[in-house]
Amino acid sequence: MNLITKTILTLVTLIFIACGGGESSSTSESDNRQTVEALELANTVDITETQYFRVLSPKNCEQENKNQFIYQVMHDSYLWSNDVPELDFSDSQYNSSEKMLTALKSNNDKFSFIIDAQTAQSFFEEGKNNDFGMGLTVAQLNSSTNVLAITYIYPDSPADKAGLKRGDIITHIESKSITSENIDAIVDILDNQKIIKFTFLEENNSTNNKTITKESYSIKTFLYSNIFTNDSGNKRVGYLVFQDFIQNALQEMNPIFKTFKDYNVNELILDLRYNGGGAVNVANHLSSLIGGVNVSENIFNHTNFNDRYSNFNDTSYFETHNNNALNLNRVFVITTPSTCSSSELVINALKASANNIEVIQIGSTTCGKPYGFLGSGKFCDKALFAINVESKNGDDIGNYVNGLSPTCPVQDNYFKDFGDTSEDSLNEALNYITTGKCTTKTLKQQKVKQVSDFQLPKDGFKRIMSAY
């Protein structure tokens, strides 16, 4: 299948989270650098298990061959291919695929990554995780003590089965305290150890140890939904906490919106505060259910490749009106710096002037990723996700690299559960629906507060799927 056909089929599952022959030249002996033109590329363009655009996957999995694959992809389909340096990919300093990618990435790129191919398939295609199933953030108990706070729990995950909940406080992991000096070791334990002893802070300031084992579980992409009604009864507010733009979400989304439609919901609060993105077709479906007749068949987004593949630039459109669509001309979206990629795409797409939809953003500035990946480059047992497209809305507006700023700034209060109307972000959105404006209140005093001097690293895949 050539890429023209493949693009039509694949652009809808773009993770936003694809011609021509190359000329050959000899390697320069004077500087021992190998240029991309010296490498053999396919004469046709495709995305398969053994080919990514024009780059063929290595048959021999020696590190140099893996480096060569990464090097070729970055010089070929990478969005900033013109910025990629020419270097000797056989140099011993590039003794891992991750080091090779780091050496080649543009300064504009905070998002490209390499993961195990099986992990990518499990999450994006099968909708499964193999971890504890909880989001974590570093917080400050007092001036000298840091802790980890749980921000969300996946239903039916090991953390859920252990009785953990949003707002629980972890003081130690495998007896290691939460310090900047220990944070790398803690992340290594969380990533690579199957059974872990967690120490939790209880309400009476005592501690309690729980040993939890990682397990595979099916991801439920909607963590919470509810309908609120104001005192006068004329506002029926749908509230939806959405976590992952993966294909599972399509089956979960439709019955929720049918319920909203059946109950005549006329306001929507879409909580994307920890949603790191995923598939564009899921983002389009969600946006189309929100806007309905207001957006039907309008431009959803423009997808642009680098100059080499600009003939594959594409425009996609909102879906034709769905019977479960809410036909809203206003939507509230809760965001944090963890709101990324397809989450930002939803906001930006709905904002286009042709839609006549007011998007009121509650919370804090998003991550700033107007970019995505068309599939991934499979090599050996790994998958390379290298940024190769940028997105703009129907007004040709994109480039929000510094994030999308909130209408009403509010700090995330993860010590209140989803759906608690006193939780600051939800409360702010409900107040706006009642009063038509942002409040000037400050965040209530909490037992612990967010800390900014260090955090759990959220690079690459962790920006999309943040659970441990």
Residue 27 in this model has a pLDDT that exceeds 80: no
In this prediction, residue 38 carries a pLDDT of 45
DSSP helix/strand/coil, 215: strand
Q: What are the tens digits of pLDDT across the range 380-395?
A: 999 999 999 999 999 9
User: Residue 220 pairs with which residues in a beta bridge?
Assistant: none
Q: Per-residue pLDDT tens for 309-342?
A: 999 999 999 999 889 999 999 999 999 999 999 9
Q: Is the pLDDT of residue 54 over 60?
A: yes
pLDDT tens figures, 149-199: 999 999 999 999 999 999 999 999 999 999 999 999 999 999 999 999 999
pLDDT band for position 79 (50/70/90)? very high
Query: According to the per-residue pLDDT averaged within each range, which of 41-45, 261-265, 450-454 is highest?
Result: 261-265
Domain with CATH 3.90.226.10 in the chain: 222-301+316-368+404-443
Q: Is the pLDDT of residue 60 over 70?
A: yes
**pLDDT band at 231; cut points 50, 70, 90:** confident
Q: Give bridge partners of residue 149 from the DSSP assignment.
A: 137, 169
**For position 29, what pLDDT does the model report?**
35
DSSP reduced 3-state for 410: coil
Smallest CA-to-CA distance from 430 within 343, 422, 265 is with 422
Secondary structure string (H, E, C) spanning 26-69: CCCCCCCCCCHHHCCCCCCCEECCCEEECEECCCCCCHHHHHHH
pLDDT at res. 73: 97
Q: Quickly state the pLDDT bin for 457 (edges 50, 70, 90).
A: confident
Distance CA(387)–CA(366), nearest Å, equals 18
User: Residue 32 pLDDT > 70, yes or no?
Assistant: no
Specify the residue for token string 């120490």: 199
- Burial of residue 206, with CB atoms counted within 10 A of its CB: 0-12 exposed, 13-18 middle, 19 or more buried: exposed
The two structure tokens encoding residue 17 = 């989270």
Among the listed residues 182, 136, 189, the one whose alpha carbon sits nearest the alpha carbon of residue 159: 136
Which pLDDT belongs to residue 454? 81
Q: How far apart are CA 165 and CA 163, in angstroms?
A: 7
> Which tokens is 205 given?
């300031």
CATH superfamily of this structure's domain 222-301+316-368+404-443: 2-enoyl-CoA Hydratase; Chain A, domain 1 (3.90.226.10)
pLDDT of residue 230: 85
What is the reported pLDDT for 40?
A: 65
Q: How high is the pLDDT of residue 444?
A: 47
- List pLDDT tens digits, range 271-319: 999 999 999 999 999 999 999 999 999 999 999 999 999 999 999 999 9
pLDDT for the residue 455: 87
Q: For residue 440, what pLDDT is reported? A: 74
State percent of the chain over pLDDT 70.
89
If you average pLDDT over every residue of the chain, what do you get? Answer: 90
Distance CA 304, CA 309 (A): 9
pLDDT at 84: 97
Contact 256, 240 (CB under 8 A): yes
Q: Where do the CATH 2.30.42.10 domains begin and end in the chain?
A: 128-217
CA–CA gap between residue 16 and residue 373 (Å, rounded): 6
Q: What is the pLDDT of residue 34?
A: 44
Q: Please say if the pLDDT value at position 456 is more than 80.
A: yes
Q: Determine the pLDDT at residue 119.
A: 94
Amino acid in the structure at residue 128 = K
Half-sphere exposure (CA, 13 Å, Cβ side) for 315?
8
- Is the pLDDT at 101 greater than 80? The verdict is yes
């505060």: which residue's tokens? 273
Angle formed at CA 234 by CA 232 and CA 240, multiple of 5 degrees = 110
Q: Would you state the pLDDT for residue 321? A: 82
Burial class (CB in 10 A: 0-12, 13-18, 19+), 76: buried
Tell me the HSE value of 82 on the side-chain side, using a 13 A CA sphere: 5
* Banded pLDDT at 16 (limits 50, 70, 90): low
* Domain 128-217 indexed as CATH 3.20.20.450: no
| pLDDT tens for each residue of 408-439 | 999 999 999 999 999 999 999 999 999 999 99
Phi, psi angle pair for 463, to nearest 5°: -70, -30
Instruction: Give residue 450's pLDDT.
Output: 58
Q: Which two tokens stand for residue 398?
A: 């994109």
pTM: 0.91
Question: Which residue spans within 175-264 are E strands per DSSP?
Answer: 176-177, 195-201, 207-213, 215-218, 222-229, 236-242
Identify the CA nearest to 359 among candidates 406, 411, 321: 406
| Per-residue pLDDT tens over the stretch 354-373 | 999 999 999 999 999 999 99
